[in-house]
């Protein structure tokens, strides 16, 4: 007779979650000032009432005084995450950052972050029914010979609240559900990787 069995997972998981008290009401004036200067054009990945400063690396938020303390804690955490992912002796830094704002119905389409080791997504203001980030099953093609209920299993949402911070590999495909709330969703994203990786990519 077999004893009660159970599944084991010897591999590190891909998505790390933590939180930080960003105090959105306090930093909101700085964010509003930044948003007021924004160019009208936005990323093609943004759909509906949605805007991203990803292509506008003028005064990126991770360099703001408001995020200095968060940045110093983040750098310490990233050392552990690089180790846990067995990326050893690789120089890295915070490469770029941007803000995404989503009004009602606004969403971000499927994408990944090329030449980036990790993506750090911080929920500065996530209203109720504000929509979650969803990740595409990275083993999708390996599962070609098994039954997949694609509508329910190909994409998995990660439930979050304001102040949550999600860290995941840049190659992992993701998208953001539409914001169903009347309140604006405000998210800061940081690319982490080798110094000059972005410049080399754009050269
Ligand atoms: Fe992204």
Asked whether residue 177 is assigned to any structural domain, the reply reads yes
Structural domain harbouring 181: 16-202
Asked whether residue 54 is assigned to any structural domain, the reply reads yes
Asked whether residue 115 is assigned to any structural domain, the reply reads yes
Asked whether residue 158 is assigned to any structural domain, the reply reads yes
Q: How far is the CA of 69 from the centre of ligand 1 (A)?
A: 23
Which pLDDT value is given to residue 55? 85
Task: Indicate the pLDDT class of residue 150, thresholds 50, 70 and 90.
Answer: confident
Asked whether residue 47 is assigned to any structural domain, the reply reads yes
Q: How many domains does the chain have?
A: 1
Asked whether residue 23 is assigned to any structural domain, the reply reads yes
Of the candidates 166, 175, 135, the residue with the CA atom closest to the CA atom of residue 50: 175
Asked whether residue 5 is assigned to any structural domain, the reply reads no
Asked whether residue 2 is assigned to any structural domain, the reply reads no
Q: How far is the CA of 109 from the centre of ligand 1 (A)?
A: 9
Q: Tokens 């750090």 map to which residue?
A: 120
**What is the C-alpha to C-alpha distance for residues 14 and 153, in angstroms, rounded to an integer?**
17
Q: How far is the CA of 118 from the centre of ligand 1 (A)?
A: 10
Whole-number average pLDDT of the chain: 91
Render pLDDT for 50-59 as a digit per residue (tens, 0 to 9): 998 888 888 8
Which pLDDT value is given to residue 182? 96
Of the candidates 98, 104, 155, the residue with the CA atom closest to the CA atom of residue 127: 104
Q: Name the pTM for this structure.
A: 0.91
**What is the C-alpha to C-alpha distance for residues 86 and 109, in angstroms, rounded to an integer?**
30
| CATH label of the domain that carries residue 50 | 2.60.120.620
Half-sphere exposure of 26 (CA within 13 A, CB side): 6
């Amino acid at each position: 007779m077999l004893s009660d069995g159970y599944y084991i997972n010897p591999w590190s998981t891909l998505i790390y979650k933590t939180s930080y008290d960003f105090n959105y009401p306090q930093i909101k004036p700085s964010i509003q000032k930044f948003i007021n200067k924004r160019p009208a054009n936005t990323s093609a990945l943004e759909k509906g009432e949605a805007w991203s400063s990803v292509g506008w690396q003028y005064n990126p938020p991770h360099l703001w005084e408001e995020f200095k303390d968060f940045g110093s804690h983040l750098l310490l955490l990233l050392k552990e995450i690089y180790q846990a992912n067995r990326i050893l002796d690789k120089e890295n830094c915070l490469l770029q950052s941007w803000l995404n704002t989503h009004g009602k119905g606004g969403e971000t389409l499927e994408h990944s972050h090329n030449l980036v080791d990790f993506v750090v997504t911080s929920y500065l203001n996530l209203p109720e029914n504000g929509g979650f980030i969803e990740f595409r099953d990275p083993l999708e093609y390996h599962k070609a010979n098994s039954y997949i209920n694609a509508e329910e299993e190909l994409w998995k949402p990660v439930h979050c609240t304001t102040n949550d911070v999600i860290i995941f590999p840049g190659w992992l495909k993701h998208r953001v559900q539409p914001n169903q709330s009347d309140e604006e969703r405000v998210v800061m994203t940081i690319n982490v990787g080798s110094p000059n990786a972005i410049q080399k990519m754009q050269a």
